[in-house]
Amino acid sequence: MESELSSTLESTVESVDAAEESVRRFAQDAGFADEDVYFMGLAAREILVNAVVHGNRFDPNKKVTLQLSLEAGRFTIDVLDEGAGFECGAVPDPRLAENRERLSGRGIAMAKAIMDEFSVEKKLPRGTRVRMVKRKA
């Protein structure tokens, strides 16, 4: 089964709810186990919230794009924002003692732990693409 889905979201946290549900439905339809479906939705939610909050900074003129694809048992989730971009290595590691009290910073670590592949690409002139891949067991 090969399929694709793309949607454009407003830069609001509320828009993330429907997007997360789309990820879960897509994964379920692709035949992933219930536990994987749940955690893939969670990984997508964390990155979508980051795109809205940190990337687009709730700017109503900026959008977040969610692209889902399944090809040869590889479920790819792409999240694109229109923000200034960031360096993944500059995000503090929430597992380190000095960062445990921070109120944010766990989403990327969580998504990396859940997904099989995780990459960040700065887009020009603006924006970031976060790509996450989960392989079907």
pLDDT for res 98? 74
Q: Which residue ranges of the chain lie beneath pLDDT 70? A: 1, 88-92, 94, 96, 99, 102-105
Looking up residue 109, the CATH number of its domain turns out to be 3.30.565.10
pTM: 0.90
* pLDDT tens digits, one per residue of 67-87: 999 999 999 999 999 999 877
Distance CA 106, CA 19 (A): 20
Query: Which residue range(s) make up the domain with 123?
Result: 3-135
Q: For the chain, how many structural domains are there in total?
A: 1
